[in-house]
A and B are shown apart, each in its own frame.
Chain A
Amino acid sequence: MADKVGIEVSVAIGDAVKLARADVVAAYPITPQTHIVEHLAELVASGELDAAYIPVESEHSAMSACLGAAATGARVFTATAGQGLELMHEVVYVASSMQLPMVMTVANRALSAPLSVWGDHSDVMSVRDVGWIQIFTENGQEVVDNVLCAFRIAEDRRVLLPVMVHLDGFHLSHMIEPILFPEQAEVDRFLPPNQYPFPLDTAKPVTMGAFAPPVIYSETKKAQEVNIRASQEVIIECWREFGDAFGRYYSPVEGYHSEDARVLLLTMGSFSETAMTAIDRMRDDGKSVGLVRLRLWRPFPFEEIRRAVKEAEVLIVVDRALSFGGPGGPVCSEVRSALYGEAKRPKVVSFVGGLGGRDISLDGFEAIVSRGMEIAETGSEREFEMFGVRE
Chain B
Amino acid sequence: MTKPENMMTWKDLEIGSIVTEPGNASQYQTGAWRSQRPIHDFTKCIKCGLCYLFCPEGCIGQNAEGYFEADLFYCKGCGICARECWTRAIKMVEEEE
Contact = CB atoms under 8 A, between A and B. Distances in A.
Given A98-B16, A198-B20, A215 B5 contact: yes
Interface residues of A, number: 21
A232 to B, nearest CB: 18
Contacts of B6: 215-216
B18 A223 contact: no
B16 A97 contact: yes
Interface stretch (B7-15, B36-44, B81-89): B7-15
Interface stretch (A16-24, A28-36, A204-212, A347-355): A204-212
Interface residues of B, number: 17
Given A205-B22, A213-B5, A213-B28, A219 B10 contact: yes
A223 B17 contact: yes
Interface string A92-103: 000001111000
B19 interface: yes
Contact of A99 (B8, B16, B28): B16
B34 to A, nearest CB: 15
Contact of A97 (B17, B20, B28): B17
Nearest to A94: B16
A160 interface: yes
Contact of B18 (A198, A222, A226): A198
B20 A223 contact: no
B8 A219 contact: yes
A206 B21 CA distance: 7
Interface in B41-58: none
Interface string A74-100: 000000000000000000000001111
The 8 closest A-B pairs by CB, nearest first: A99-B16, A207-B19, A222-B10, A219-B10, A98-B16, A223-B10, A220-B17, A216-B5
Given A99-B15, A212-B17, 16 more contacts: A99-B16, A100-B16, A197-B15, A198-B14, A198-B15, A206-B18, A207-B18, A208-B19, A213-B28, A215-B6, A216-B8, A219-B10, A220-B10, A220-B17, A222-B10, A223-B10
